[in-house]
Chain A
Amino acid sequence: MSRITKLLYKFLLIDLIKGLSVTQRYFFAKRFTSQYPKERLEVKSRVDDKNRWNEEGRYRGFIMLRLDPDSGEELCTGCGLCMRACPDDCITVENEKRPEGKKRRHKTFVLDFQRCMFCDLCVEACPTQALYTSDIYEMAVYDRKDLVHDLDTLYKGPEVKRYKK
């Protein structure tokens, strides 16, 4: 840019007008806000409860246990690999013999979400793909005790309270 052009830019306040036009453009742009309790944005996890792979999904939400999509029986064998993989030591598994078949199954499965950091290591460690990270993100509770989830909620997902305001 020559010196004259620079001077003209300064005298005609071109740079300021450029800035003003940018803000004016954003003035008419679509608003970015989502009104959370009213409109809930969709998040996608990598696999769903039927173990279908989702290419775009990257979200790691509430960790859940999965039933076998074909036979409908429990996949978890209670081997405790997730318990050992967990860096925060928040999973407790005990196993027992199944009534029929050779396999064993979980007797207790307690996941303490107070300490969980959703690192996904337990899911990767699971040999039967019984664990998966779901797309549930509304896990806030009023009592810390409610963050310790056991078999009941790990299959169903947490109870989401819908507050009016």
Chain B
Amino acid sequence: MSLLEFCIFYIVVPLVKVVVVLTAVSLWIAMLILAERKVIGWIQVRMGPIRVGFRGLLQPFADLFKLLAKEDLNPTQVNKFIFFIAPILCFVPAFTAFAVIPWGPESKFWGTVWNWIFGVLGLDIEIGPVPYYISDVNIGILFILAISSLGIFGILLGGWASNSKYPLLGGLRSAAQMISYEVPLGFAVVGALMMAGSLSMVKIIESQQAFGWSFLWIQPLGFFLYYVAMVAETNRLPFDLPEAENELVAGFHTEYSGLKFMFFFFAEYANIVLVSAVATTLFLGGWLPPFHGFISEDSFLYMIPAPLWFVGKICFLLYSFLWVRGTFPRYRYDQLMRLGWKWFIPLAIVNVLCIGLNIIIRKQAGWPEIAMIPLGIAEIVIIAVFVYAWWVIRGKKDESYYKAII
């Protein structure tokens, strides 16, 4: 491989992909912000923003310019350096993690496009199929978990550096919440990883393709745990304790304004897209068409480009975020902690155990893959029976207390 080929394959092509993905994700986030205001408006029988552009389509850009034009305010009591660096700490990891999101498989089409561009430029090189994803790290999911956890430092430091009561409380709460919900989130991910047998995001989807089923059908409990944990991770309603408006003004970003606030805002929405993308990869079958086990390979559903399926599934999850926000009231802080520690962590551990058992039983008995679904259902029933038994035993002692738990 010549130096030119090396430069083009490992620098130019990935850089182009990085630029495309970053631009697309930023635009997507802008549209998500608009969609949130619209959907919440519609749920509340309002109209949402309709003034800027066609039916308010340019509203996020108007917001952006407003935030850019605002004075960059530094309160006198803040720790200047940390106050400055906290939004960046929040923003950068949220976008970094998009590097390993598998938007689609290797595509011959883009390979041809690149080859055509090389031909036009008069270069004598050939490139094979170009994948849609930027990179396929063999510890992809671990990378995402590690990077997205870094974003919490931004929230924490922002809350602390503001040197004010509300941000400090918001930062504390967010720290506690992240620690509580990172554990069930991790365990829920482990369930999917055991099925896939790999940490690479691409391999996880490929294993679902080979398996014939999305992991959602085999471990609905795992998906449910992951879903609730991811809502809690991104500080969204009904778990938005760190920025509860009627308690903490705006939580950790109370003292922030202008561009710095925008960084926090964008990071929050980038994180929402990110966790939805991870959920899609792990449980919903990624770029594969829905119900891919049931339809044949030459079905028209396979004609639609893979990234569209991926984005569509993420959009579905994003809509569910907004829907849940428009429906449920906020949890009380102790209820949040109880739910996390007393229900989700035990359930997540039991879920991992059950999936392990499931895999072993199936392999030992030599049953086909489809046997995992009845086995999974049986496990959920067993869990339910155990929880019910526990309920009955403990409920006799002090019913009112345990009623308050749920």
Interface residues of A (CB under 8 A from B): 7, 10-11, 16, 19-20, 22-24, 26-33
A22-B323 Cα distance, complex, nearest whole Å: 11
Closest approach, in angstroms, between the C-beta of B392 and any C-beta of chain A? 8
Contact A20-B47, Cβ < 8 Å, known A10-B406, A27-B39: no
Contact A20-B45, Cβ < 8 Å, known A7-B388, A11-B384: no
A7-B403 Cα distance, complex, nearest whole Å: 12
* Contact B43–A27 (Cβ < 8 Å): yes
Closest approach, in angstroms, between the C-beta of A135 and any C-beta of chain B? 26
* Contact A31–B47 (Cβ < 8 Å): yes
By a CB distance below 8 angstroms, the chain B residues around A33 are 45-47
A24-B320 Cα distance, complex, nearest whole Å: 11
Closest approach, in angstroms, between the C-beta of B190 and any C-beta of chain A? 23
Contact A20-B46, Cβ < 8 Å, known A10-B406, A11-B384, A27-B39: no
Interface range, B side: 10 to 19
* Contact A32–B45 (Cβ < 8 Å): yes
Q: Does B294 lie at the interface of the complex (its beta carbon under 8 Å from any beta carbon of A)? A: no
By a CB distance below 8 angstroms, the chain B residues around A20 are 323-324, 327
Q: Does B328 lie at the interface of the complex (its beta carbon under 8 Å from any beta carbon of A)? A: yes
Closest to A21 in B: B327
- Cβ contacts A to B, 21 pairs, < 8 Å: A7-B384, A7-B388, A7-B391, A10-B406, A11-B384, A19-B327, A19-B328, A20-B323, A20-B324, A20-B327, A22-B327, A23-B326, A23-B327, A26-B42, A26-B43, A26-B44, A27-B42, A29-B45, A31-B46, A32-B46, A33-B47
Residues facing A in B369-401 (CB within 8 A) are 384, 388, 391
Interface of B is mostly: helix
By a CB distance below 8 angstroms, the chain A residues around B43 are 23, 26-27
Closest to A4 in B: B388
* Contact B323–A23 (Cβ < 8 Å): yes
Closest to B325 in A: A23
Residues facing A in B311-348 (CB within 8 A) are 323-324, 326-328
* Contact A16–B46 (Cβ < 8 Å): no
By a CB distance below 8 angstroms, the chain A residues around B324 are 20
By a CB distance below 8 angstroms, the chain B residues around A11 are 384
By a CB distance below 8 angstroms, the chain A residues around B328 are 16, 19
By a CB distance below 8 angstroms, the chain A residues around B47 are 31, 33
Closest approach, in angstroms, between the C-beta of B140 and any C-beta of chain A? 31
A19-B237 Cα distance, complex, nearest whole Å: 15
A16-B238 Cα distance, complex, nearest whole Å: 12
A32-B327 Cα distance, complex, nearest whole Å: 19
Closest to B381 in A: A11
Give me the 8 closest cross-chain CB pairs, A-B, nearest first: A23-B327, A32-B45, A33-B47, A23-B43, A27-B42, A19-B327, A23-B326, A27-B43
By a CB distance below 8 angstroms, the chain A residues around B42 are 26-28, 31
Closest to B406 in A: A10
Which has the most chain A C-beta neighbours within 10 Å: B43, B324, B406? B43
Closest approach, in angstroms, between the C-beta of A42 and any C-beta of chain B? 20
By a CB distance below 8 angstroms, the chain B residues around A29 are 45
* Contact A31–B406 (Cβ < 8 Å): no
By a CB distance below 8 angstroms, the chain B residues around A30 are 45
By a CB distance below 8 angstroms, the chain A residues around B391 are 7
A30-B45 Cα distance, complex, nearest whole Å: 7
Closest to A7 in B: B388
By a CB distance below 8 angstroms, the chain A residues around B384 are 7, 11
* Contact A26–B323 (Cβ < 8 Å): no
Closest to B324 in A: A20
Closest to A31 in B: B47
* Contact B45–A26 (Cβ < 8 Å): yes
Closest approach, in angstroms, between the C-beta of B132 and any C-beta of chain A? 32
